[in-house]
Amino acid sequence: MADPVVASHLSLVLKAPPTNSSPSHSLPQQHSKPMASSLNSAASLRLFVSSSSSSSSAAARLCLRSTSLSFSSSLKSLAVSPLSRHKRGSAVSMSSTGGFSSVASPKCAASDPDQLKSAREDIKELLKSKFCHPILVRLGWHDAGTYNKNIEEWPRRGGANGSLRFEVELKHAANAGLVNALNLIQHIKDKYSGVTYADLFQLASATAIEEAGGPKIPMKYGRVDVSGPNECPEEGRLPAAGPPSPADHLREVFYRMGLNDKEIVALSGAHTLGRSRPERSGWGKPETKYTKDGPGAPGGQSWTVQWLKFDNSYFKDIKAKRDEDLLVLPTDAVLFEDPSFKVYAEKYAEDQETFFKDYAEAHAKLSNLGAKFNPPEGIVLDDGPR
């Protein structure tokens, strides 16, 4: 399996369906720790090892937790995977519904604050070793970005509800490669069973931005998980990379989420991180002088020279149009062509502080879309400013 960074095509704004509709990576078969297969390279994509101490801590804090585990057969398509072997005594298993299910989600409080803080520290260590900032940002975005403001009912409205852990949604063309992100963080989910998938996805996304040098994101937690793949949104809610009318397409998709032009442009700036790989998205070069040596698996085409550093260079580079080795998608170029978008793109190219401020606000808003919080006001981690 390829290095996690190969999946660092980072946005709600840019996935075009690959010519082959099946994902680049097959999902691992049922085993004791879902998607925590024994990959032995730097691309090892594991999702979290159970910790009895953290699990007991969660049980002490969270009321009315289910004591039963969901054990059942995995999808038939996963049954022949050589990447894993079934083990007994697991606290985590593939569910018969086709997703990755750990100990049942808490019934009184969605996530435990202490476990959230500990999980964040583990994510920081993961980022240092795997250079997986882009794909973790994308994971959070794509879980939240299915939100439809015109649908009131949860979870049918989509949004940040952990549904992206299920195979039916992972197979959406826009989510190609995100199985790698799940593999990367599952060992953290296993270790901190008092954290929901919905919270973990958004925690990983915000932490990746901050650890790459970006702004502190004003996050809150307590998102409730959906329970099965029947609650996943239909395909087609995420943006494409090369629509016939890029500006109209961006507005159609992001306005449906309740976002405005400023937020569209600010969020697009997250393309300062990551690379696009043509074998997945159909966009970009196989490699450039900026990506041929990694870090992580080499290859792909990045939007910026330092594609693991969060800054405003995305806007500067699009405006300059000087480097053919840097990627500019139609949905990127339109930010300097559409009159309304251009106001913000020009501002962000000149003023990184303003970009950081607007980005942090937009990222936090995106991460809350469609979520059901328990407690309703959410949980703010009391760690103060970075």
**Are residues 161 and 371 in contact, defined by beta-carbon separation less than 8 angstroms?**
yes
Q: What is the full DSSP assignment across 90-156?
A: -S-EE-TTSSEE-SPPPSS-SS-HHHHHHHHHHHHHHHHHH--HHHHHHHHHHHHTT--TT--STTT
**Are residues 300 and 10 in contact, defined by beta-carbon separation less than 8 angstroms?**
no
- In our burial notation (b when 16+ CB lie closer than 10 A, e otherwise), range 135-159 reads bbbbbbbbbbbbbbeeeeeebebbb
Which token pair is 175? 């989510």
Active site residue 9: no
**Are residues 180 and 25 in contact, defined by beta-carbon separation less than 8 angstroms?**
yes
Instruction: Give the closest residue to 307 by CA, choosing from 335, 285, 326, 286.
Output: 326
What is d(CA 344, CA 360) in angstroms, rounded to the nearest whole number? 15
Residues 6+ apart with CB under 8 A from 12: 141, 142, 145, 238, 239, 253, 254, 267
**Are residues 277 and 134 in contact, defined by beta-carbon separation less than 8 angstroms?**
no
What is d(CA 75, CA 44) in angstroms, rounded to the nearest whole number? 22
Number of H-type helices and E-type strands within the chain: 13, 4
Q: Is the torsion defined by CA of 255, 259, 261, 265 positive or negative?
A: negative
What is d(CA 343, CA 295) in angstroms, rounded to the nearest whole number? 34
Instruction: Give the closest residue to 232 by CA, choosing from 99, 53, 46, 334.
Output: 99
Taking phi over 0 as left and psi of -120 to 50 as alpha, with beta for the rest, 240 belongs to beta
What is d(CA 115, CA 383) in angstroms, rounded to the nearest whole number? 13
Q: Which of 9, 142, 172, 187 is catalytic?
A: 142
Which token pair is 84? 């894993």
Which token pair is 103? 């100990």
**In terms of residues, how long is the chain?**
386
Q: Which residues are catalytic?
A: 142
